Chains A and B, each alone.
Chain A
Amino acid sequence: MATIPSTTSPEDRLPEAATPSGLSHPGFGGNLAHDEQLDYIWTLNFGPQHPATHTTLRLVLKLDGERVVAAMPDIGYLHSGFEKIGEHLDYNQYVTVTDRMNYMSPMANNVAWHCAVEKLLGIELTPRCKYVRTIIAELARISDHLLCNGAIGLDTGAFTFFLYAFYQREVIYDIFESLCGARFTNSYTRVGGLMYDITPVVVEKIRTFCRTLPKTLSDMDRLVNRNRIFRDRLKEVGVLPKEEAIRRSATGPIARASGVTRDLRKDEPYLAYQDFDFKTCCMTTGDCLARYLVRQAEIRESLKIVTQAIENLPSGPVNVSMGERTTMPSKKMVYSSIEGTISHFELAMSNRGFDTPHEEVYSAIESPNGELGFYIAGDGTDVAYRARCRPPSFIHMSLFPYMIEGHTLSDIVAVLGSINIIAAELDR
């Protein structure tokens, strides 16, 4: 039985051809281990829990001095089993698991999952529900981008910048807390609607947030945008040309920083996005600085969407009608009417629930990181036969070895920060 090797000593590590860390990487032909000419190449294990990797992620690096010759991400560290659990929990229960896939913007995952389920069932949501879901998805985007940009600042030495960003993220946590009772793992959506309707208190909090965030954003811009250290550490680092971005399946801000104009909110409008006026933010240089600036611009556009949505919030019910027997009735109905009690009982019982088509469907949303899609195979019961998540971070991780090659060790934090890796999303 092979044992997992410890760290760094190249004499110990290199002669072994196939270790769990996978030294036979295509990047250097798999024969590096036996080539005595290349004995000066060092192996460095970066992570699993290194402050700069943000989460549990191990990078096996081949170093020539301080220069990275090759990087091999060792993912799958958490063994969370999300997709296997999806085959055993029903469509309403699984939303709590989608929260754990991306803890930086769980609301976006909630929306993505239930949009896919509703597409499978063929449910048309109420206008108010569409608006509220749009608002929470955009707030999730703002909070994700704030943390990601703040962490880039933190990794490159701008600590105050991180605090500015994180303070505003706290405000979004407060909004989510008054909305659904949870700050971090929200689980707010339900099949055919939402857990609770949005309240006037939350509307007021969101309005205040929309008024106060632009000042922080301009403060953040003034803090680093012309800062020599910040620019030099990000500019022309981890360049991803447009053709490579498409060939390697990049989506979201990473692709848009390379000049791909694809944005699902514009190109395949879902929820209420066709009602709002906003721009797709693109750059062409494709380096870390471009990705930072695209995210910063996207926060402003998201804020525009949230402002428009909160001012034009339609009235009416937030769930589809109870006659369809798919959405959970409100607590008030459960306790005061017999129809509500029966409906709740039927939906909550295992092996009862609602019927799904014997079909398969894929539905994607533009999550903060890129295209987040769910591929669901329904088998007639209210438990998915197969619940596949197409996580953006997993696809983006394959970009990392390409982007980092030839850069120095200290550039790793900038590149890793700018592609916004979430370890929970790297796992199945």
Chain B
Amino acid sequence: MATQATLDALQQEFPSISASEFRGQSRVVVPREQAYAAMEWLRDERRFDLLIDVTCVDYLNYRDATDRFGLVYLLANSESNERITVRVFVNEPDPEVDSVVPLWEGANYVEREVYDMFGIVFRGHPDLRRILMPQEFEAFPLRKDYPLQGRGERHNFPVITRASS
């Protein structure tokens, strides 16, 4: 739960941000161009020094959804335990956002995971490679248009025999 002062100051600084609340959680939706600046401001001015998580939701079949992907940044203040959820929406032809690794080193692995699972490109990430799936894998498994049982990629991988190893 973020304090009202934080939300007011954030809205003062970035007027295009919209805030909402559900079950004691403060969430702000930030335009993609301002996402990095807003999070840098939150870190420096409001001491949100702990990045809890970066994740993504694919809104392909979601009712009332207007954008395809919604990125979720969960931030916390390690002293006062203030929390805020920053949402950034990106869309299909160029699903790209600025990486927040320069702000929080902890974003390194989680952003790679979002890239691996959803195909969101993080500009400026120091090492944007697949982290869970093999490098040769081409699909993005957690997208909604990817079937639960996979699409037969397993059969396309090279088989390592004892002789060739």
Contact with B along A1-35 (1 / 0, CB 8 A): 11110100000000000101010111000000000
Q: A120-B23, A247-B105 are in contact. Are A390 and B53 (CB under 8 A)?
A: yes
| Contact call B53/A373, Cβ cutoff below 8 A | yes
Tell me the minimal C-beta distance from B51 to chain A in angstroms.
Answer: 5
Q: Is B134 an interface residue (CB 8 A)?
A: yes
Given the complex, which residues of A lie within 8 Å of B105, measured CB to CB? 244, 247-249, 398
Given contacts A83-B142, A373-B53, contact A247 B81 (CB under 8 A): no
In whole angstroms, what is the CA distance A24 to B128 when docked? Answer: 11
Whether the Cβ atoms of B109 and A20 lie closer than 8 Å is no
Given contacts A1-B158, A119-B23, A361-B25, contact A267 B81 (CB under 8 A): yes
Check if B63 sits within 8 Å of A380, measured CB to CB. Answer: yes
With an 8 Å Cβ cutoff, the count of chain A residues facing the other chain is 56
Across the interface, do A385 and B142 meet the contact criterion of CB distance under 8 Å? no
Interface string of A391-428 (1 = CB under 8 A from B): 00011011000000000000000000000000000011
Contact at A75–B142, with CB atoms within 8 Å? Answer: no
Residues of A within 8 A of B99 (CB): none
Contact, CB under 8 Å: B135 / A22:
yes
Q: Which of B42-101 contact A (CB under 8 A)?
A: 49-53, 55, 57-58, 62-64, 72, 74, 78, 81, 85
List A contacts of B133 (CB < 8 A).
Answer: 76, 79
Interchain CB contact under 8 A, A360 and B57: yes
Cβ contact of A395, chosen from B78, B110, B117, B141, cutoff 8 A: B110
With a cutoff of 8 Å between Cβ atoms, the chain B residues found around residue A244 in the complex are 105
Partner of B160, one of A4, A375, A377: A4
Of all chain B residues, the one with the shortest Cβ separation from A398 is B109
Residues of chain B within 8 A (CB-CB) of A250 are 106
- Kindly provide the distance from the CB of A363 to the nearest chain B CB, expressed in whole angstroms: 9
Contacts of A357 in B (CB 8 A): 22
CA A122 – CA B23 in complex, angstroms? 7
CA distance A371 to B75 in the complex (A): 13
Name the A residues within 8 Å of B72 (CB-CB): 360, 362, 375, 388
Interface residues of B in 140-164 (CB under 8 A from A): 141-142, 144, 148, 158, 160, 164
Known A375-B72, A398-B109: A361·B52 in contact at CB below 8 Å: no
Determine if B52 and A390 form an interchain contact, defined as CB atoms under 8 angstroms apart.
Answer: yes
Contact with A along B104-145 (1 / 0, CB 8 A): 111111100100010000000011010111111000011010
- Report yes or no: A75 in contact with B23, Cβ–Cβ below 8 A: no
B165, CB-defined interface residue at 8 Å: yes
Do residues A371 and B52 form an inter-chain contact, with CB atoms below 8 A? yes
Residues of A within 8 A of B49 (CB): 246-247
Nearest chain B residue, comparing its CB with the CB of A361: B23
Which one, A6, A25, A79, contacts B165 given CB within 8 A?
A6
B106 touches A247 (CB 8 A): yes
In the assembled complex, which residues on chain A have CB atoms less than 8 Å from the CB atom of B22? 357, 359-361
Docked-complex contact B132 and A76, CB < 8 angstroms:
yes
Instruction: Return the chain A residue nearest B76 by Cβ.
Output: A262
Please indicate which of the listed interface residues A25, A250, A394 has the most CB atoms of chain B within 10 Å of its own CB.
A394
Q: What would 17 A/B residue contacts be, using CB atoms closer than 8 Å?
A: A2-B136, A26-B126, A79-B132, A247-B49, A248-B105, A249-B104, A262-B81, A268-B81, A357-B22, A358-B63, A361-B22, A362-B85, A373-B74, A375-B74, A395-B110, A428-B113, A428-B117
Other than A22-B129, A357-B22, A390-B74, give 12 A-B pairs with Cβ distance below 8 A.
A3-B164, A18-B135, A22-B135, A83-B142, A247-B106, A262-B78, A358-B64, A364-B52, A371-B52, A373-B74, A388-B55, A390-B53
